[in-house]
């Protein structure tokens, strides 16, 4: 497997005092770019390779330390134009995050996927590993349902291809989720804000990139809805939409766990469950 040591920044931390879940995907991106730059597939970063989807399982918090975290990755699936990258992110030799990313070679002039070149394919084939699939998180299409939240794109959110970087979308999903959930139930206020008496831990975050997101002055709209309520967990669906055309640009699924301040899972409680149920979207 390819290994990469990623340094942490103090600004990576969230209100709970550990690395924010949305920052983790940036660490994976740094490792993936270093991997691509290390061999004959490097030109893909310049000519065009896009993220189709991310799946992240968060096993334990990542704490701020001077020592870098370690990301190990390999190619778990290899197709004509697509490939899947499998990762393990470790801190102090303990697995903190397991993830999968689907990438696709892409021609931006034609706005179409293209076949991997033989030298690119050879590079990826040389890094094949056996890695099982992550558990599927199901969520229905919202089809206009859910709580709307305005999402503004900043100029600094763009990548070298001129559209919103895939990692930044995790920020948008997080902002929409926090705005919507605290509106449904003030008890879901995040640590450090008025009314918070527990933690809400992200244990899974999946994002499907349906279309490219360009910069615009007018906000996009994210729609958020709970789609499954467990004993201590909530599954949320989020769709980022162009309000002018109603085109869905991103679909995301998030699993949150309710915990006490020590991190021990606790029941959602009757009041929170009732308030969430009022916004539940079924298939």
pLDDT of res. 195: 58
Q: What is the DSSP string of 147-198?
A: EEEEEPPPGGGB-TTSSB-HHHHHHHHHHHHHHHHHHH-GGGPPTTSTT--S
Query: Could you report the per-residue pLDDT of 108-119, keeping only the tens digit for each?
Result: 989 899 999 999
- Average pLDDT by stretches of 10, the chain with 283 residues: 97 92 97 97 94 98 96 98 98 97 94 95 97 96 97 96 96 97 87 69 97 97 98 98 97 96 90 96 87
Residues 6+ apart with CB under 8 A from 117: none
Residue 104 tokens, joined:
């696709």
Task: Please identify, in words, the CATH class of the domain defined by 1-134.
Answer: alpha beta
The answer to whether the beta carbons of residues 78 and 56 sit under 8 Å apart is: no
Question: Which residues are paired to 281 by β-bridges?
Answer: none
For position 190, what pLDDT does the model report? Answer: 67
The predicted model scores a pTM of: 0.95
Res 188: pLDDT: 87
- Is 100 in a helix, a strand, or coil? strand
What integer pLDDT is reported at residue 262 of this predicted model?
82
Provide the residue ranges of all domains of the chain, joining segments of one domain with +: 1-134, 135-283
Among the listed residues 165, 170, 4, the one whose alpha carbon sits nearest the alpha carbon of residue 73: 4
* Domain 135-283 CATH superfamily: Hotdog Thioesterase (3.10.129.10)
| Other beta carbons within 10 Å of 38 | 13
């Amino acid at each position: 497997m390819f290994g990469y040591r990623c340094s942490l920044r103090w600004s990576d931390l969230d209100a709970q005092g550990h690395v924010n879940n949305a920052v983790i995907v940036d660490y994976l991106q740094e490792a993936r770019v270093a991997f691509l730059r290390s061999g004959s597939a490097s030109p893909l970063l310049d000519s065009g390779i896009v993220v189709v989807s991310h799946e992240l399982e968060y096993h334990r918090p990542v704490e701020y330390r001077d020592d870098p975290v370690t990301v190990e990755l390999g190619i778990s699936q290899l197709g004509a134009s697509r490939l899947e990258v499998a990762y393990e992110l470790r801190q102090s030799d303990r697995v903190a995050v397991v993830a999968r990313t689907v990438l696709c070679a892409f021609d931006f002039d034609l706005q179409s996927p293209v076949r991997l070149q033989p030298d690119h394919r050879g590079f990826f084939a040389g890094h094949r590993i056996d890695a099982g699939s992550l558990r599927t998180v199901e969520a229905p299409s919202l089809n206009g349902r859910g709580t709307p939240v305005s999402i503004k794109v900043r100029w600094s959110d763009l990548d070298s291809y001129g559209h919103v970087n895939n990692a930044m979308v995790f920020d948008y999903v997080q902002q929409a989720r926090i705005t919507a959930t605290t509106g449904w139930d003030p008890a879901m206020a995040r640590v450090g804000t008025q009314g918070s008496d527990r933690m809400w831990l992200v244990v899974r975050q999946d994002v499907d990139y349906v279309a490219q997101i360009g910069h615009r002055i007018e906000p996009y709209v994210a729609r958020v809805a709970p789609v499954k309520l467990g004993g201590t967990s909530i599954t949320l669906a989020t769709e980022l939409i162009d309000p002018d055309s109603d085109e869905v640009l991103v679909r995301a699924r998030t699993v949150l766990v309710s915990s006490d301040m020590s991190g021990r899972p606790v029941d959602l409680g009757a009041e929170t469950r009732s308030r969430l149920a009022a916004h539940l979207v079924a298939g």
